[in-house]
Amino acid sequence: MVKIIDGKELAQTTTDNLKFEIENLKKKGVIPALVVIVVGEDQASQIYVKNKHRVAESIGIKSIITKLPSSTSESDLLALISEYNENPDVHGILVQLPLPKQINEKKITESIRPEKDVDGFHPVNIGRLVMNDPLAIPCTPMGIMRMFTAYDIDVEGKNAVVVGRSNIVGKPMAALLLNANATVTVTHSHTQNLSEITKQADILVVAIGQANFVKKADVKQGAVVIDVGMNRLDSGKLAGDVDKDVSDVAGYLTPVPKGVGPMTIAMLMEQTIELTKRSVGIG
């Protein structure tokens, strides 16, 4: 019988515990502040930003949402980020992706100071993660590692396969698993005999952005399967990257929704607190 990893419940427990840390910071005169910059009217981005704001406000983080029109120039966005970089009362900066075509995402990511890069995407932070000396970690992979801990899933020595090599999930996920002493294989769109590889995985993390991509026949009996996908079907329903029939063979499985998504937001809040504490020399 598959065990469902309840990301929503774990995220709630995590954010509830953060309230005490935030109260302690406020007693010292420190109010954690997270800036989220969203450019344009991308519908999915608007939903994500709204969810982040709601959680932040509910636990006592000051949430500053800056909405800019899709016509915003790259130089104007860089100038705004520079202002927040210099503001000591802002502890975390996040620029919601995707950005309009006139703005270079790489340049924007690199403009955020590593110590305020709450998304963990700055090259310095990715480099530190690879060297197992992290400052800020991409929130989705961090949330997945927290799920392993919460459900007593030991990754040490296990055969882990990551499907997808994005800078946001796949690559940092592989680094975290390596740091935790797993043996890691990263697969992608050019991988040959993919199913043969996934069937060897004790731990399978799927982040490829294709609905129901991994099937029951691709999964080892008793494997831990983490579904990072969030795909909108023509019917309007959400589907992960992992087919529902995988529940017949998996030992552990994350649902879509209420799996990885809530933990990503919870880790964003936790990382905001950690960056706040570092900025004022606490902890």
Q: Which residues are catalytic?
A: 52, 96, 119
CA distance 96 to 42: 10
* Helices and strands counted in the chain (H then E): 9, 11
**What are residue 245's phi and psi, to 5 degrees?**
-70, -10
User: Which residue in the block uniquely carries the two structure tokens 């606490």?
Assistant: 282
| Best CA proximity match to 97, nearest among 56, 55, 39, 47 | 39
Q: Are 108 and 77 in contact (CB under 8 A)?
A: yes
CA distance 187 to 208: 10
DSSP 8-state class, residue 75: H
Q: Are 240 and 211 in contact (CB under 8 A)?
A: yes
CA distance 139 to 146: 10
DSSP 8-state class, residue 242: B
Tokens coding 65: 């949402």
Q: Which amino acid is at 35?
A: V
Q: Are 42 and 98 in contact (CB under 8 A)?
A: yes
**What are residue 21's phi and psi, to 5 degrees?**
-65, -40
